[in-house]
Structure 1
Amino acid sequence: MTQDTAISGTHSPGALVDLDVVDATLRAALDAGGEWAELFAEDRESVGAIFDEGRVEEMNSGRDRGVGIRVTAGDVTGYAHTADLSAQGLTDAARTAAAVAAGHGGTVEMTPLGGSGTAAARVAVLPASIGTERKVALLRMADDAARSVDSAITQVTARYAEGRRRILVANTNGLCAADDQVRTLFSVGCVASGDGGLQTGRETVGYTVGWELFDTHDPAELARRAASRAVTKLAARPAPSGEVPVVIARGGGGVLFHEACGHGLEADLVRKGASVFAGRVGEQVAAPGVTLVDDGTMGPEWGTLAIDDEGHLTQRNVLISDGVLTDYMWDWLRSRDVGRAPSGNGRRQSYTHLPMVRMTNTFVTNGEIDPDDIIADTPWGVYVAQLGGGQVNTATGDFVFGMTEAYLIEDGVITEPLREGNLIGNGPAVLAEIDAIGNDFAMGSPGTCGKDGQGVPVGDGQPTLRVRALTVGGTAA
């Protein structure tokens, strides 16, 4: 068997579990009937604060530490997790998982574990080293800045969050790898009140970095943008209804491709027959020029990881190339079943969860057209600056997404703001209807992707692009 090696770096958290104990735990799983076993150890710390109505409404911190043990025997998987990190506690969990897998035991040799280095935390300054008063000061600054934009701003909610997640993954194939993940986030939401009712604006910034986030992102400027968005929307007119050309601003619509296309390219859904893209590798599934990528190595983006939650190095996975479906995303279990390597997309919410196929940073790559030319070449349509949440049926690709900021395009010019409405369509149909792709790629806001009750941090993005025809569910006659 191929032996995976760990990656090394600085800011090591120290061993979450002694490697002798890891080795003994895995061997206990095999002795109890497993054919393959994996240990996932996690130490997670978080701090959050919410500033609302001129004061700190909430300040919280937490820490969770534990181990999950997965054992397979044939096609059966057993899983057990525990917060008892003693040798006996882990052995008991290993035997429980093996019993669920219902193997017969004693016949499988274990490959010696590889290295145990830890990937460097991608930080210059750990947020935990910064005092609470400085974090609250940023929240207060954002509140003041938002309220200074216009007297129509009646509510400001600012949020700060930091998290550090240290993991160790080892399995009986000899893999032993660790990672130290630090993320920092700041968000401002504003409500403006006027004759047309209430309107909202939001700005969020978050990266897999430390306190240095604020060296390049000013909370006051973030707040002013959120407030200005809310005030602008007070003059919004009803959105049109029906099928119209839609131009999606750079970074503002990545969530559409994440939801409407990305989930359908996850190998577990594909193999269940729950994806509209099942069995279509090599086929033209999008317009020429459309390339869709999932990349867990993408700098400091929100979905970036050194290793996935099965210990495999993340990588750049081209899913659609120039309109042709080239591959799916894979975790270990699905890739094992078809005799290929995993793609670094095995992820889990915590040690209490089994891993599954998940996205990291998913995006449409750059085209060659100046974004101003795309708008100028659109006689009439809708310009979507920011999409909100939505729903998608992965089996059919049908979706509904909210437009949280949109404008009318008239005679090739962006004109009036539109009230919030919906985009309604089908993922594969949208891919086929993209007829212009800009050269101004940007990632969007950080997100949390939910699937089967688990949430993980993800990023998404795209350049400015135009969909030839997309249904807008507005209220205009």
Structure 2
Amino acid sequence: MLAKSVIEDVLSAALETGGDFSEVFVEDRYTNNLSLQSGKVESSMSGRDFGIGIRIFKGLQSVYAYTTDSSKEGLLKAARNAAQAIKGNTIIQPQAFVNQLVVTSHPIPIHPREVEKVRKVNVMKKAYEISKNYHDSIKQVTVRYFDEEQNVLVANSEGKFVEDRRIRSRLAIQSIASDGQQMQNGFYGPGAHSGFEFMENLDLDHYATESSRIAVTMLGATPCPSGKFPVVIDNEFGGVIFHEACGHGLEATAVAKNNSVFANRIGEKVASDVVTYIDDGTLQNEWGSINIDDEGETARKNVLIENGILKGYLIDKFNARRMEMPSTGSGRRQNYRFAPTSRMTNTYIAPGKSTPEEIISNTEHGIYAKYMGGGQVNPTTGDYNFAVMEAYMVKDGKLGKPVRGATLIGNGPKTLQLVDMVGNNLAHGAGMCGSLSGSLPVNVGQPMIRVSEMTVGGRKGDE
């Protein structure tokens, strides 16, 4: 992507004012976005984005610059401009490059850029027809298709030189049901670190049907009661609560500055005994998986909480300096315009021993959250507020009527302590996560779990 001799000169220029570390990140990205509504393609956008990021450290100082000028002169100018913010007495020279071979665990049989657009549209149309024909109350279906190829090169003054190719594909289906008085939404958005083979093997009957089934079911639901109840949260995207309310609190971005309730607590009990919380970027072909992070570190499995005990954090290279702990391969960024920081990949609660049937049958009275929606969280405190896309009452150990308008309100660290049953049906859901270094593909996951008590927002007096 760039000649080694040019990168060597740029790394040296970045250290001319006394920095102790320099890094070059080169990105060449191709994207393809399609949107289909009312059975017709509404938009089709393809693009290419190329740029270079240059980062410099001096102790606990960090400077970041980026440019789209890939000429040697342009890169040297950007590096020297950035270096002006660094002042030191000792000038060091970059170490000789050591080529690092990337071992990929994410095979790509069908490259999306080699697939004709008509084949992609045919997948979208099939999903549309399944969703639209599910029920007469389905008034609108929108199907979005996305694929990208991201080629990166990471080189630094410590001798690292590594290149990687990331390919991702995703299909998002949104259904709207209406009875003339109200409207309800359903959504499903599977994605993977895969090529077009992911689309060809996707169970469209399941995903497209579920999107519309959710909307139709909620159309006939009654208002959810408010109060404090045991809450059963189903697997897959149910893990979004712990991603937001706990996962971000375990990132060094917050921990290194003591802006997390988990700071300085390794070895302490922070969750119930049945909770083991993991971030694993090595899961084959999963949406949030990586070969290397955006600092060139190899992806790995990081056990964050084990049987309730805090074991570690997600740490990037710069915050490793602050914390005096090694990087965990967690430095990620949206693109070259962002400096990397600690971020999640595929984060999930590990499976337990209970079956979903046992969890429901052992719940005398509560709420069953089948599919989660969006929400808000305060990363410093872990306080959260999440909407439930599809929910049901549980009475006498059996699922009851569907309820709409349910909101789960609580505190992530406290909720971890209140998880009293964990199922054996682990599944992952694809999503996008926003933070300091931009928006990134991540998986959230869990088996079905039960929280012994949660505050449920709804409507008073309903039961």
Q: Does 1:115 align with 2:99?
A: yes
Alpha-carbon deviation of 1:220?
4.3
Could you tell me how far apart the structure 1 residues matched to 2:221 and 2:58 are?
A: 60
Q: Does 1:393 align with 2:389?
A: no
Q: Are 1:141 and 1:220, in contact at CA under 8 Å, matched by a contact in 2?
A: no
In the alignment, what sits opposite 2:441?
457
In the alignment, what sits opposite 2:20?
35
In the alignment, what sits opposite 1:190?
175
- The change in CA–CA distance for 1:429 and 1:118 in structure 2 (over 3 A counts) is closer
In the alignment, what sits opposite 1:314?
299
Alpha-carbon deviation of 1:339?
3.2
Aligned counterpart in structure 1 of residue 225 of structure 2, from 240, 249, 268: 240
Aligned counterpart in structure 1 of residue 75 of structure 2, from 78, 87, 90: 90
Alpha-carbon deviation of 1:104?
4.6
Give SS of 2:237's match. coil
1:333-372 to 2 correspondence within 5 Å? 333-372=318-357
Alpha-carbon deviation of 1:233?
1.4
Give SS of 1:408's match. strand
In the alignment, what sits opposite 1:161?
146
Q: Are 1:33 and 1:99, in contact at CA under 8 Å, matched by a contact in 2?
A: no
The one-letter amino acid paired with 2:46 is: S
Give SS of 1:161's match. strand
Could you tell me how far apart the structure 1 residues matched to 2:101 and 2:299 are?
A: 16
Of 215-224 and 45-54, deviating more is: 215-224
Give SS of 2:258's match. coil
- The change in CA–CA distance for 1:157 and 1:203 in structure 2 (over 3 A counts) is same
Could you tell me how far apart the structure 1 residues matched to 2:211 and 2:352 are?
A: 29
Alpha-carbon deviation of 1:26?
0.8
Q: Does 1:144 align with 2:129?
A: yes
Q: May I ask how many residue pairs the two structures share in their alignment? A: 460
Q: Are 1:26 and 1:171, in contact at CA under 8 Å, matched by a contact in 2?
A: yes
Could you tell me how far apart the structure 1 residues matched to 2:21 and 2:426 are?
A: 43
Alpha-carbon deviation of 1:73?
2.0
Runs (5+) with no aligned partner, structure 2: none
In the alignment, what sits opposite 2:7?
22
Structure 1 runs of 4+ off > 4 angstroms? 116-121
TM-score by length of 1: 0.94
Q: Does 1:470 align with 2:442?
A: no
Could you tell me how far apart the structure 2 residues matched to 1:340 and 1:113 are?
A: 24
Alpha-carbon deviation of 1:292?
0.4
In the alignment, what sits opposite 1:9?
none
The one-letter amino acid paired with 1:133 is: V
Alpha-carbon deviation of 1:84?
0.9
In the alignment, what sits opposite 1:101?
86
Q: Does 1:175 align with 2:175?
A: no
Of 149-158 and 268-277, deviating more is: 268-277
Q: Are 2:176 and 2:183, in contact at CA under 8 Å, matched by a contact in 1?
A: yes
Please give the per-residue CA displacement for 1:320-367, whole angstroms capped at 9, x wherever unaligned: 110011111100011123333200111111111111111111100010
Aligned counterpart in structure 2 of residue 134 of structure 1, from 115, 119, 141: 119
Q: Are 1:48 and 1:161, in contact at CA under 8 Å, matched by a contact in 2?
A: yes
Q: Are 1:40 and 1:167, in contact at CA under 8 Å, matched by a contact in 2?
A: yes
The one-letter amino acid paired with 1:173 is: E
Aligned counterpart in structure 1 of residue 423 of structure 2, from 435, 438, 449: 438
The one-letter amino acid paired with 2:98 is: G
Q: Are 2:185 and 2:214, in contact at CA under 8 Å, matched by a contact in 1?
A: yes
Q: Does 1:381 align with 2:348?
A: no
Q: Does 1:300 align with 2:285?
A: yes
Could you tell me how far apart the structure 2 residues matched to 1:66 and 1:408 are?
A: 52
Runs (5+) with no aligned partner, structure 1: 1-15
Give SS of 2:166's match. strand
Could you tell me how far apart the structure 1 residues matched to 2:97 and 2:283 are?
A: 28
Alpha-carbon deviation of 1:196?
5.3
- The change in CA–CA distance for 1:221 and 1:251 in structure 2 (over 3 A counts) is closer
TM-score by length of 2: 0.96
The one-letter amino acid paired with 2:333 is: R
Could you tell me how far apart the structure 2 residues matched to 1:432 and 1:116 are?
A: 42
Could you tell me how far apart the structure 1 residues matched to 2:42 and 2:180 are?
A: 29
Could you tell me how far apart the structure 1 residues matched to 2:101 and 2:280 are?
A: 23
Could you tell me how far apart the structure 1 residues matched to 2:7 and 2:193 are?
A: 28
Please give the per-residue CA displacement for 1:91-130, whole angstroms capped at 9, x wherever unaligned: 111111211223356x213211111545546311011111
